[in-house]
Amino acid sequence: MKKVITYGTFDLLHWGHINLLKRAKELGDYLIVAISSDEFNALKNKKSFHSFENRKFILEAVQYVDEVISEENWEQKVSDIDLYEVDLFVMGNDWEGKFDFLKTKCEVVYLERTPGISTSQVKRELASVK
């Protein structure tokens, strides 16, 4: 069984996220998603609209997702790959090259980011609605 892992905040889940999760699942048999905790989001200078618990609950309902774990720090990827016996690490290509150090442990694939949608764009546009 080929196990795939990906990491992210996945706030205000949108089709760009789903497109990433769908393609990641198609590259293997089992997809683990590590969702950034609210505390780690603060380290990423991100404040998500939905709490960790609610973002986790939403992601667990996505057909492509087999397991959801929490992402607490930048360093855990290395141990996660061993702990969950991961074969493939996937991220959107806005992260191109940033996780190549994982290539000693598993395959690393960066998938084309879906243009025209982002959580921050949704937040901006909703904020400007009169």
Report the catalytic residues.
44, 46
Q: Report the residue number, 9 or 87, with the smaller CB distance to ligand C2G.
A: 9
By the rule CB under 6 A, 113 interacts with ligand C2G: yes
The reply on whether position 94 binds ligand C2G by CB under 6 A is yes
Query: What span, in angstroms and rounded, lies between the C-alpha atoms of 126 and 50?
Result: 15
The count of chain residues that interact with ligand C2G, using the rule CB under 6 A, is 17
Query: Is residue 92 a contact residue for ligand C2G (CB under 6 A)?
Result: yes
Cα–Cα nearest to 35, from 15, 25, 16, 21:
21
Decide whether 10 or 52 has the Cβ nearer to ligand C2G: 10
Q: What's the DSSP call for residue 94?
A: G
Nearest 5°: CA angle at 92, between 107 and 11? Answer: 125
Which of 15, 29 has the CB closer to ligand C2G?
15
Give me the helices (H) in the chain, please: 15-26, 38-43, 52-59, 76-83, 119-127
Binding site for ligand C2G (CB under 6 A): 7-10, 16-17, 20, 36, 44, 71, 91-92, 94, 113-114, 117-118
